[in-house]
Structure formats: structure tokens, C-alpha cells
């Protein structure tokens, strides 16, 4: 497997997550945020501050901490519901409760859509039952809108043109869907090798996906609405979980990983990895408060 994107791989800090997820680059502060879902923690890394990593407690099953239109006010997705978190005074305020029809699930993937709304998924905490769903929340209508159900482990959210791309990890599939008045309508599905987890987009529309359990990232081109694998990037961790671009030029690729479920984790399992690449990503979107 050839990286083909340049740069060495390095680990960020000493923290090793049980289940690291949802890396987000904040351009305003020049920092990376991510979560450890199973340890209920938010982590934040400043490359320009001697590589310092700040660790904050979060509610149970916090799966994402995302940007908002207000500096240092972040959107928290947890099993307690959706809330706003003021990073300076560490105070939270509720946006909406956990969906009434999502009993027995926990949050998983989450991202901000082009219109500034939040999309997030739910899943069976044991990843056994197909009770997962996608939901949408916006500030002026905070009741979660159910978009699609019957999923096992909903992952990846990327918008390309009029389509939203997502994965169901344990079904080994990507899906291309469109948002309709009644919810998400699946237009096409794509079988892939391995277990697709979180993804990011390059500025020229290439999808880079964390392959859970396969010690690599997969690169996909989207040609005429077809998903075509174009290469793989080998990693020194067993369970990469997601990735995003950061740094001043959005050319540093950050990758989260997990130790959970590994009988003999190696030193880097659970670390955040960084590759300084020859390509670039796109800025993270902000939830409109």
C-alpha cells in the first residue's frame, strides 16, 4: 500500500482513546477537537502551543463536538441530547433532547450539513441490531427530524452536489442518497471491502475513508456517481475510526483510532495520527445558532 500523498506519520500527544472519533479542525483557533466516546472526553490539540492537549469531561456517549457560528461555542452530540458548550466557562445549554423514538440507542456519526443544520446517527450500543437511524436538527426547529432508519452502524456524512454519502459499517456498504420532504431517499448503494468508518473529502472531491480493523485509509474517486477505490494508505494502528484535514493550509491529515476490543493493543492504538500531505481538504462547517 502506497501513501501517494507525501509525508511521514506521527502520533499526536500521549493520550490513547478507547474509542477516538469525530476529529474536527477549528480554523479560528488553529486547533483540533476530537472525542473519546467510551471515556466521555473531549480532547483539543493546539499545534502552535507546544503541542498541548486539553482534556475535558463530557456527557455519557458523547460522539461529536462540532463547530458553531459562535467562536468557542461548540455543539455537543451525546446520549443526553444535543447541547451547546461554552469552552471558556465550561457551561452547557440544551438545544434538544434525545429523540423520543431512539430509545436503547447511542449517538455515532455527526456532521454539519451545507445549510448549517446538524445531522447525526444513532446505533445499538452493542452494534448487533439494525435499529440505527439518521436525524437532522436545526436551530430554528430543534426537534430532531427522523430521516432514515433500519441501519446497523451508520457512519460517514459527506455532501457532494445534491447527494449525501454515508456508510453502514457492518453491512460493508456506502450509500448515495438525496434529502426529500419525507426524509432520506437512497439512490444507490456500493459494496466495499472491509468496514467503512468515518471519512473526509479532499478539495477535489476524493473521499478518504477510515477502514476499521484494516490498519489503513481507503481513497475513493467518485466518477459519474460511481465509487472507485484509487488506493490505500497504511497506518500503524489497527482500528482507524475517522479522519479530517487541518493545519493552516488544510493539508495535515488527522486520523483518530481506537483500542476498544483489541486483545493486545500496540502502543499507538487509540492515538491521533497526523500526516503532512501534498493534498488539501475543505473547511469544517459550522452549526448556525
- Cα dihedral 262, 267, 271, 274, rounded to 10, equals -130
Indicate whether 2 belongs to any domain.
no
| pLDDT for residue 1 | 46
- Asked if the structure places residue 69 within a domain, the reply is yes
- Whole-prediction pTM value? 0.96
Q: What's the grid cell of residue 74?
A: 461548540
Q: Which domain holds residue 33?
A: 9-276
Domain contains 219: yes
115, part of any domain: yes
Q: What is the CATH number of the domain that holds 82?
A: 2.120.10.30
Residue 288 lies in a domain: no
The structural domain count of the chain equals 1
Strands 154-160 and 31-36: unpaired
State whether the Cα torsion 189-251-216-220 is positive or negative. positive
Q: Is residue 67 part of a domain?
A: yes
Q: Which three cell numbers stand for residue 105?
A: 440507542
| 230 in a structural domain | yes
Question: What's the CA gap between 210 and 200, in Å, rounded?
Answer: 9
pLDDT at 139: 84
In a domain? residue 222: yes
Tens digit of each residue's pLDDT, the chain (289 residues): 445 677 789 999 999 999 999 999 999 999 999 999 999 999 999 998 877 899 999 999 999 999 999 999 999 999 999 999 999 999 999 999 999 999 999 999 999 999 999 999 999 999 999 999 999 999 888 799 999 999 999 999 999 999 999 999 999 999 999 999 999 999 999 999 999 999 999 999 999 999 999 999 999 999 889 999 999 999 999 999 999 999 999 999 999 999 999 999 999 999 999 999 999 999 999 999 8
Amino acid at each position: 500500500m502506497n501513501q501517494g500523498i507525501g509525508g511521514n506519520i506521527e502520533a499526536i500527544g500521549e493520550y490513547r482513546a478507547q474509542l477516538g472519533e469525530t476529529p474536527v479542525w477549528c480554523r479560528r483557533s488553529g486547533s483540533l477537537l476530537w472525542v473519546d466516546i467510551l471515556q466521555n472526553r473531549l480532547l483539543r490539540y493546539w499545534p502552535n502551543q507546544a503541542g498541548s492537549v486539553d482534556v475535558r469531561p463530557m456527557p455519557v456517549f458523547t460522539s461529536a463536538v462540532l463547530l458553531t457560528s459562535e467562536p468557542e461555542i461548540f455543539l455537543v452530540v451525546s446520549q443526553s441530547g444535543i447541547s451547546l458548550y461554552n469552552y471558556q466557562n465550561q457551561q452547557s445549554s440544551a438545544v434538544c433532547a434525545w429523540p423520543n423514538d431512539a430509545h436503547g440507542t447511542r449517538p455515532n456519526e455527526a456532521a454539519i450539513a451545507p445549510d448549517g443544520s446538524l445531522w447525526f446517527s444513532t446505533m445499538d450500543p452493542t452494534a448487533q441490531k439494525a435499529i440505527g437511524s439518521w436525524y437532522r436538527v436545526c436551530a430554528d426547529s430543534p426537534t430532531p427530524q427522523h430521516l432514515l432508519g433500519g441501519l446497523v452502524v451508520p457512519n460517514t456524512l459527506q455532501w457532494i452536489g445534491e447527494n449525501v454519502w454515508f456508510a453502514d459499517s457492518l453491512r460493508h456498504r456506502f450509500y448515495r442518497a438525496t434529502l426529500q420532504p419525507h426524509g432520506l431517499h437512497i439512490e444507490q448503494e456500493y459494496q466495499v471491502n472491509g468496514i467503512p468508518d468515518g471519512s473526509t473529502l479532499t478539495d477535489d472531491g476524493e473521499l478518504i475513508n477510515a477502514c476499521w480493523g484494516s490498519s489503513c485509509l481507503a481513497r475513493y474517486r467518485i466518477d459519474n456517481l460511481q465509487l472507485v477505490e484509487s488506493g490505500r494508505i497504511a497506518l500503524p494502528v489497527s482500528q482507524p475510526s475517522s479522519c479530517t484535514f487541518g493545519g493552516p493550509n488544510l493539508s495535515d491529515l488527522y486520523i483518530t483510532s481506537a483500542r476498544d476490543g483489541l486483545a493486545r493493543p500496540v502502543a499507538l492504538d487509540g492515538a491521533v495520527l497526523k500526516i503532512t500531505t501534498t493534498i488539501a481538504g475543505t473547511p469544517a462547517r459550522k452549526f448556525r445558532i
